[in-house]
Amino acid sequence: MNKLTIRDIDVSGKRVLVRVDFNVPVSYKTGEITDDSRIRASLPTIDYLIERGAKVILCSHLRRPEGKVSGEYSLVIVANRLSQIIRQQVTLTNDCIGPEVEKSIADMKNGEVVLLENLRFHAEEEKGDDSFAKSLAQLGDIFVNDAFGTSHRKHASIVGVTRYLPSVAGLLLEKEIIALGRVLRNPPRPFGVLLGGAKVSDKVAMLDNIMGKVDTIIIGGGMAATFLKAQFYEVGLSLLDDSIDIATDLINKTTINNVKLVLPDDVLVTDTVNDRGKTEDVSISNIPADKHIVDIGTLTITKFTRALEKCRTVFWNGPMGIYEIPQFSEGTKSIARIIANLHAITIIGGGSTSEIVTEMKLADKMTFVSTGGGASLKFLSGETLPGVEALLDKDTTT
């Protein structure tokens, strides 16, 4: 990576504004954090700064409060969890900008940690508003981006602040770029890509960019219905994302580039997409017109397993079925266990896929679990991430 990191600068005694991605999943029933892996992922950066006597000012968003202050979206639960993890009090400010916040920062001692309240309580954050960015920047002497998962956005706390502060990468952001960059540069082959989730359109640019490097593309999840429809199979009431022409084009590209395309042989279908729906495993040639595809079938799990076992590098993004409903989750769980036991480089492409392997306690068996869903796909698409591009280059004198 050609960007400066926190290792390249003196942070001792400095106010270091760190953009982290603490957008953790929270239970609607209990109001508790259900997966704190995004918090833990930034610990190397936080610990590095504490150990060197920096005044650590963390900022993040949580979910989508739409520019309105709401206790439901407060970062208080994140501050409490982080305090427990680092065994040090993390103070939550009452806002992320303003005189009271500035006073809290001014009272900080070296090695202390403060978490600013939800950035998205201000609509200006997502708009990339320059005045809001300037107000944030006034809180720090140095800016650190450790939020890879939001670095594809041009938000005020991602790009705007870099206009006012020396800006470098955190250790998590560096780790993400190096791990995903390996996929783009020279992945050990055979290289397999396993894709699930609902939308084909989200993955087109990535597939186009890696088509010359990949050997096998395996398609499951909701997007499998679009590929099956493109090959004139009946897919019943399954959701299609208006990408049949795109799927047809991708099928043609795999043929031209001598890439093996692996689609399901059988699928799980149901008449009702909820936890009361009756399920049936059917061949792709016998999908009823009045039913929905909700998971891959048992024969397909075996087929996908054989394809994956031949790979030396595997990138996985997207569940194989409607994972949130237990009886439609077995395909995803089976594939997760299989990938965890492969003798290969295994990279999990963020988003819900990362949450799944973490929930199943398989994350430590993967080579790398990305914290960025949309960001990882854009990076693998060859697109420049604004939040990374805005950081200082290694040949810059600070």
pLDDT digits (tens, 9 = 90+) for 146-158: 999 999 999 999 9
Cβ contacts of 231 within 8 Å, gap of 6 or more? 251, 263
Residue 222 CA, distance from chain mean position: 19
Model pLDDT for residues 76-110, shown as the tens digit of each residue: 999 999 999 999 999 999 999 999 999 999 999 99
The pair phi, psi for residue 132, each rounded to 5°, is: -65, -40
Quickly state the pLDDT bin for 244 (edges 50, 70, 90).
very high
Nearest to 269 by CA among 225, 218, 212: 225
**25-39, 123-137, 190-204, 238-252 — which one is most confidently predicted on average?**
123-137
Quickly state the pLDDT bin for 240 (edges 50, 70, 90).
confident
**What is the average pLDDT score of the chain?**
95
User: Per the residue annotation, which of 154, 199, 229, 312 is the catalytic one?
Assistant: 199
Question: How open is the CA angle 380-166-10, to the nearest 5 degrees?
Answer: 105
Q: Report whether pLDDT(242) > 90.
A: no
**194 vs 198, more confident:** 194
Q: Is 199 a catalytic residue?
A: yes
Quickly state the pLDDT bin for 29 (edges 50, 70, 90).
confident
Find the mean pLDDT for residues 318-325: 94
Q: What pLDDT is recorded for position 202?
A: 84
Q: What pLDDT is recorded for position 398?
A: 55
Cβ contacts of 262 within 8 Å, gap of 6 or more? 216, 217, 218, 219, 303, 304, 307
Interhelix angle 351-359/330-340, nearest 10 degrees: 80
pTM here is 0.91
> Which residue is listed with tokens 């399954």?
238
How far is residue 243 from each of residues 198, 199, 203, 249, 279, measured CA to CA in Å?
11, 8, 11, 10, 26
SS (H, E, C) 159-182: CHHHHCCCEEECHHHHHHHHHHHH
Q: Report whether pLDDT(269) > 90.
A: yes
Quickly state the pLDDT bin for 348 (edges 50, 70, 90).
very high
User: Per the residue annotation, which of 38, 203, 333, 378 is the catalytic one?
Assistant: 38
Cβ-contact 222, 198 below 8 angstroms: yes
Alpha helices in the chain (DSSP H): 37-41, 43-51, 76-86, 99-106, 123-127, 130-137, 171-185, 204-210, 223-230, 244-256, 298-309, 330-340, 351-359, 373-380, 386-389
Q: Is 128 a catalytic residue?
A: no
State the DSSP code for 72.
Answer: G
The pair phi, psi for residue 348, each rounded to 5°, is: -100, 125
Q: What pLDDT is recorded for position 397?
A: 61
Q: Report whether pLDDT(12) > 60.
A: yes
User: Per the residue annotation, which of 13, 53, 128, 374 is the catalytic one?
Assistant: 374
State what percent of residues in the chain have pLDDT above 70. Answer: 99
Q: Report whether pLDDT(300) > 80.
A: yes
Q: Which domains does the chain have, with CATH numbers?
A: 6-174 (3.40.50.1260), 186-380 (3.40.50.1260)
- Give the pair of three-digit tokens for residue 194: 């396993």
Give the lowest-confidence range in 168-182, 199-213, 245-259.
199-213
Q: What pLDDT is recorded for position 248?
A: 95
Q: Is 38 a catalytic residue?
A: yes
User: Per the residue annotation, which of 149, 170, 350, 351 is the catalytic one?
Assistant: 351
Rounded Cα distance, 205 and 246, in Å: 11
Q: What pLDDT is recorded for position 27?
A: 86
> Which residue is listed with tokens 């799927």?
247
Q: Report whether pLDDT(396) > 90.
A: no
